[in-house]
Amino acid sequence: MTGNEAVAFALKQIDPDVIAAYPITPQTDIVQYFSSFVADGAVKTEFVTVESEHSAMSATVGAAAAGARAMTATAANGLALMWEILYIAASNRLPIVMPVVNRALSGPINIHCDHSDTMGARDSGWIQLYSENAQEAYDNMFQALRIAEHPDVLLPVMVCLDGFIISHALENLVVNEDELVKNFIGAYKPQYPLLDVDNPVTVGPIDMYDFYFEHKRQQSEAMKNAQEVILAVAREYEQKTGRSYGLFEEYRMDDAEVAVLVMSSAAGTAKAAVDELREQGHKVGLVKLRVFRPFPHEKLAGALQHLKALAVMDRAESFSTMGGPLFNEVRSALYGAGGGPLVRDFIFGLGGRDIGVAEIVEIFKKTLETAAAGKVDEMVCYLGVRE
Amino acid sequence: MSKPIEIRWHGRGGQGAKTAALMFAEAVSAGGKFVQGFPEYGAERMGAPILAFNRISERPITIHSNVTDPEIVVVLDETLVGKAAVTDGLPPGGAIIVNTKKSPAEMKKRLGSTDVRVFTVDANQIALEALGMPIPNTPMMGALVRVSGLVPMEEFMELAEKLLYEKFRGKTNVVPGNLEAIRRAYQEVKGE
């Protein structure tokens, strides 16, 4: 299956109460495939076609507040148009799960892969899980639901997969039995549904300086709680499927002196680069970050501590003039943790520019040089750009 | 096989290079191999040159980049020869299959590449006769099965039949013609 088909199939197995979606570009074919499941009667979902992505998220928020298991899907500028409502979903503590196909935000107009869309939404209060391939996107969907709906969390979750590279690429996929999925996700019991008329509640009223801050503080606490919940859900998922997940994956890191840290599909390509360099005797490894929000700063700093040098690969520009968003989080996590590696940033692949094994080997070589020199000469590099 | 077999498809928008690459991958995966099939999307319009790729392996494939050094190239549109760099990255002994009326020897001369194996098949004519439309993607899959030897023909035909019926759920009348086109191209593809 392609990444989009895998996610659509996960949605079919989840069979949510409501999916609201905007059915044309910039939507992905996740929703197109799902609409055929609706038409075939394969799901019981109430499928609401809306007039924009802003409305898609609004309708999803409304359905979730009413007490439904509600979802939508989006990509790129569609996510940007949802912006305002992303914050409302998170602050109302609505456990919405949304697959996001990572694609560049225009302009210049571009439909291809980078992480500018979800990186822009990183402070909206959503949990973000990033997927290396179609299998991970599929597996993340079920885990995301359990994480979102956990009473200690109650936050919306984005399941991110790389546009075209994963979304439109066909790969082998191991699917779960419907029964396994049903048991794993369980029946949804909303905590304070609007439609529970015997216990009336108000959702989304004005919240002034006397309580707004406390509610934001509670969101932070929920995000903090999410880390343990993500791990607990992953353990349970592994027991049922044999496929293991964590906050991040360490690949040949035990005795590594130099490593690359990257998210999503480029991590798979980086594994081949690590193998190639290991064969040549270089002590290199890879850390693939799965969970960007909450950011697992302590555990990550622990895993990186023994390195001499680290290259962070960012598939988004932040225009801070000091590197991309992933670099800044990682470097900040290491600062004050005592010692730790020299850190460099490589911004790559914007607007879908292809990244191959050879380019990542080049990153490793530059970072090995940094380790040997004992200092960082060039903190931020733009990989393969004509300058 | 530690390194995956890599295949690159050259076509023009509308000829079905992407569909063929994905269907080929899916059919081969059903035989137990690890596969990838993916397109490089450019500006999506009829007639624009497009690429699609396959990786086939006995082991899980983690690389997610375009194929730059394929062992096999499939060219769906003869007019791309000389315009797109169809032989780029092909190693000595690599194979290129071109949809053309020309003989392999003539095509080899046009390609100007002496150390690759050139195969030709008139997929447009086959598609016209079998389907009534010059859509070369399904016959080129037949030629690829023959040249690559990655999957036995009878096994591939069974899988292709299943996949084509799924794909053309609404108009299954085109499936027998497509199967006929695959089989004919398998038989008619010529090497030097």
Predicted confidence at residue B2, as pLDDT, reads 61
Predicted confidence at residue B64, as pLDDT, reads 97
Name the residue facing A169 among B34, B38, B68 (closest C-beta). Answer: B38
Q: What is the ipTM of this complex?
A: 0.92
**Has residue B47 got a pLDDT over 90?**
no
How many domains does chain B contain in total? 1
Predicted confidence at residue A24, as pLDDT, reads 72
Predicted confidence at residue A354, as pLDDT, reads 96
The CATH number of the domain holding residue B153 is 3.40.920.10
CB contact under 8 Å between A171 and B22, yes or no, is: no
Using alpha carbons, select from A264, A273, A284, A278 the residue that is nearest to residue A326: A264
CB contact under 8 Å between B65 and A171, yes or no, is: no
Q: Average the pLDDT over B16-27 and give the result.
A: 95
| Alpha-carbon span A359 to A157, nearest angstrom | 32
CB contact under 8 Å between B36 and A271, yes or no, is: no
CA dihedral B145, B176, A4, A180 (to 10 degrees): -100
**Which comes out higher in pLDDT, residue B84 or B158?**
B158
Compute φ and ψ for A190, nearest 5 degrees. Answer: -65, 145
**Has residue B42 got a pLDDT over 80?**
no
Segments in chain A below pLDDT 50: none
Q: Which strands make up the sheet holding B72-75, listed edge to edge?
A: A170-171, B34-40, B49-57, B5-12, B72-75, B95-99, B117-121
Judge whether B142 and B181 are in contact, CB under 8 Å: yes
Look up residue A243 and give its two tokens.
């496929």
**In chain B, what residues touch A111 (CB-CB under 8 Å)?**
41
A108 prior amide bond cis, ω within 30: yes
Residue B23 CB: number of other CB atoms within 10 A?
22
**Best residue of B29, B50, B65 to probe chain A, by most A CBs closer than 10 Å:** B65
**Has residue B46 got a pLDDT over 90?**
no
CB contact under 8 Å between B62 and A356, yes or no, is: no
- Cα three-residue angle A358-A360-A361, rounded to 5 degrees: 65
CB contact under 8 Å between B38 and A164, yes or no, is: yes
Ordered alpha helix ranges (H), chain B: 17-30, 104-111, 123-131, 137-148, 153-167, 175-188
Look up residue B91 and give its two tokens.
């190693």
Distance from CA of B27 to the nearest CA of A (A): 11
Residues 25-54 of B with CB under 8 A from A: 25-26, 29, 34-41
Distance from CA of A312 to the nearest CA of B (A): 18
| Alpha-carbon span B171 to B166, nearest angstrom | 10
A151 prior amide bond cis, ω within 30: no
Q: Does A268 touch chain B (CB under 8 A)?
A: yes
**In chain A, what residues touch B41 (CB-CB under 8 Å)?**
111-112, 164, 168
| Alpha-carbon span A291 to A155, nearest angstrom | 14
Q: What domains can be seen in chain A, in order of their start residue? A: 3-186+204-241 (3.40.50.970), 248-382 (3.40.50.920)
Residue B96, domain extent: 5-191
For tokens 């990183």, name the residue.
A122
| Alpha-carbon span A28 to A30, nearest angstrom | 5
N-term to C-term CA, chain B: 27
Q: At what angle do helices A29-39 and A3-14 cross, to 10 degrees?
A: 40
Residues 6+ apart with CB under 8 A from B96: B72, B73, B74, B75, B86, B87, B90, B111, B113, B116, B117, B118, B119
3-state secondary structure of B76: coil
| Alpha-carbon span A175 to A52, nearest angstrom | 32
Predicted confidence at residue A279, as pLDDT, reads 97
pTM: 0.96
CB contact under 8 Å between B35 and A172, yes or no, is: yes
**Which comes out higher in pLDDT, residue B41 or B40?**
B40
* Residues forming a β-bridge with B50: B11
Predicted confidence at residue B44, as pLDDT, reads 67
**In chain A, what residues touch B63 (CB-CB under 8 Å)?**
268-269, 272, 356-357
**Has residue B135 got a pLDDT over 50?**
yes
Residue B106 CB: number of other CB atoms within 10 A?
13
Residues 6+ apart with CB under 8 A from B52: B8, B9, B11, B17, B18, B20, B21, B22, B37, B38, B39, B40
Using alpha carbons, select from A71, A90, A95, A82 the residue that is nearest to residue A7: A71
| Alpha-carbon span B180 to B178, nearest angstrom | 5
Q: Least CA distance to B38: which residue of chain A?
A: A169
Predicted confidence at residue A213, as pLDDT, reads 98
Predicted confidence at residue B1, as pLDDT, reads 38
| Alpha-carbon span A73 to A71, nearest angstrom | 7
Q: Average the pLDDT over B93-102 and give the result.
A: 97
3-state secondary structure of B130: helix
